[in-house]
Amino acid sequence: MTKLEQLKEKLEISKKFEHAANVLYFDYETLCPTDAREDEGEVLGFLSNEVFKILTSDEVKQLIIDLHNDIDSIEDPLDKVLINRSYEAYEKTKNMTPEFQMEMTVTHNKAYMKWLEAKEKSDFSIYKDALADNLKIDKKAIELRDKILPNFYDNYLNDTEKGVLTADLDPFFDELKVGLLELIQKIKNSKHVIRRDFLSRNVPIHKQEEFSRYLLELNGYDFKRGALTTTEHPFTMPVAQNDARVTTHYYEDMFLSNIFSIIHEGGHAIFMQNERKEDFEHYINDEVTNGMHESVSRFYENVIGRSKEYIHLIYPKFKEIFAEEFPDVSEQELYEGVNIVEPSLIRTEADEVTYGLHVLIRYEMEKLICNGLIAMEDVPAKWNALYKEYLGIDVPSDKEGVLQDVHWAHNFGYFPSYQIGNCYNAMYVLRMRKEFDLDKAIETGDFATINNWMRENVFKKANELMPKEWIKDITGEALTPKPFLDYLNKKYSKIYQF
């Protein structure tokens, strides 16, 4: 066996453990009974540890080093990607002792538990020290690396959206901010009133479920390679190559919540279902950065899901399934109802215009926190001040403010990807529109054309290329918020009639 074959043999075993762990994780989040969670969590940890043991064994480490030293002799480009990624992962952890690894896990778990408690009690001070501990141990982990980026926050960014750093994001967010604030002001000045009385009507869950399945299938989600179930917080889980599962949450008095969760998570899953077989065979299928992934899910959710054409397409089924609930809601009213723009407290419930400001606030907060420019006790006040400044709203509690997101309990640098994603898709949609009539495809339910284009242009090299190369590969341009702002302005000037 060659060294590459030896490495792949090990990865194949670790893939089996990972597949099992994925099923357990999904089960843990969905069906696992309350009192069984502790034991199932332990088994999950046990399986993850088996993976860790394989990947960090001396044998595997040596294989990675040898293969990387001799990478020029490797012919298959995807094998090269595999070796480079493996080497990067090795470099990140090579100076860590197992004890340090364990300490990191324990510290993060503690922060997560403290976050839960703090959110429950709406009191940031409960979370403060654990968050500081997270920051400290993450910093230590970064400092153990051979290569450290001088702007400390860049190390975080680089871990979640490789190669996209503060120098890229500062001008990006500056331009975005100006554009969004202008647009929001115009919408605020608009006299147009959108009907919203029907948005909180009671809708039986089994009807919502029926509609969800319709939407997923319509959009091209393959139920033979996926499943739909419910959780507190919706997510998508790549269990295995032929198994991309989606969850949602049904609220009886907030039917739109499920609809756009479904379209969003369905978008993630359609991406997963269209990843190249070769990527799985080269064990590089889960290297996608978040920005690429969010660009797809938010493309389905917003560009498609909140478009006039899509509402036109789904309106007959909507009227059929919800005949009793919405006999009096016109197509136009539904379209406007899913596109209300209004500054609000919670990021995950924000409309597509104000959403970018929620992300911007988190980006600014993370720069301050990760670069040690703010004392931990001042974090909530700064958060609230930014919400007042950008969105014009008062934050009444930590729960609805700085404690609303779980992310910092796990890591920093994650939030920008959401907005990068929005801007990526606005960029490639421009090219898509040159190649076929997107509006018509949506209106006629021709998702095969859309998904084929996405597969050939967006999904294809998502695991192979770094984000900056990838968006250039599709559009010929570097990341810019301009097409996204143009898209918003065009759409909302019509809705709000200015």
Give catalytic residue positions: 265
Binding site for its own copies (CB under 8 A): 16, 19-20, 23-24, 26-27, 30-36, 39-40, 42-43, 46-47, 204-206, 222-227, 229, 239-243, 245
- Cα–Cα distance measured from residue 498 to residue 491, given in angstroms and rounded to the nearest whole number: 11
Q: How far is CA 258 from CA 207, 233, 254, 442, in A?
A: 11, 11, 8, 20
Residue 67 or 244 having the CB closest to its own copies: 244
Strands 236-240 and 243-248 come out as antiparallel
The amino acid occupying position 461 is: K
Residue 206 or 490 having the CB closest to its own copies: 206
DSSP 3-state of 146: coil
Residue 47 or 314 having the CB closest to its own copies: 47
3-state secondary structure 333-378: HHHHHCCCCCCCCCHHHCCCCCHHHHHHHHHHHHHHHHCCCCCHHH
Q: Tell me the β-bridge partners of 243.
A: 240
Residue 57 or 229 having the CB closest to its own copies: 229
- What minimum distance in Å lies between the beta carbon of 433 and its own copies? 33
Residue 29 or 333 having the CB closest to its own copies: 29
Residue 147 or 206 having the CB closest to its own copies: 206
- What minimum distance in Å lies between the beta carbon of 258 and its own copies? 16
Residue 422 and residue 352 in contact, taking contact as beta carbons nearer than 8 Å: yes
Residue 206 or 434 having the CB closest to its own copies: 206
- Gap between the terminal Cα atoms of the chain: 68
Q: Tokens 């095969």 correspond to what residue? A: 448
**Burial degree of 38 (CB within 10 A; 0-12, 13-18, 19+):** exposed
- Residue 230 parent element (H or E): strand 228-230
Angle at 19 between CA 17 and CA 24, to 5 degrees: 95
- What minimum distance in Å lies between the beta carbon of 52 and its own copies? 15
- What minimum distance in Å lies between the beta carbon of 278 and its own copies? 17
Residue 11 and residue 3 in contact, taking contact as beta carbons nearer than 8 Å: no
Give the residue from 193, 217, 234, 438 showing the smallest Cα distance to 314. 217
Residue 34 or 73 having the CB closest to its own copies: 34
Residue 256 and residue 337 in contact, taking contact as beta carbons nearer than 8 Å: yes
Residue 200 or 242 having the CB closest to its own copies: 242
- What minimum distance in Å lies between the beta carbon of 329 and its own copies? 24
**Residue 346 phi/psi, 5° resolution?**
-105, 120
In our burial notation (b when 16+ CB lie closer than 10 A, e otherwise), range 67-93 reads: bbeeeeebeeebbbbbbebbbeebebb
| DSSP assignment letter at 150 | S
- What minimum distance in Å lies between the beta carbon of 266 and its own copies? 14
DSSP 3-state of 156: helix
- Cα–Cα distance measured from residue 209 to residue 148, given in angstroms and rounded to the nearest whole number: 48
Q: How far is CA 10 from CA 55, 76, 83, in A?
A: 8, 19, 14
Record the tokens describing residue 239, joined without a space. Answer: 């269990």
| DSSP assignment letter at 465 | S
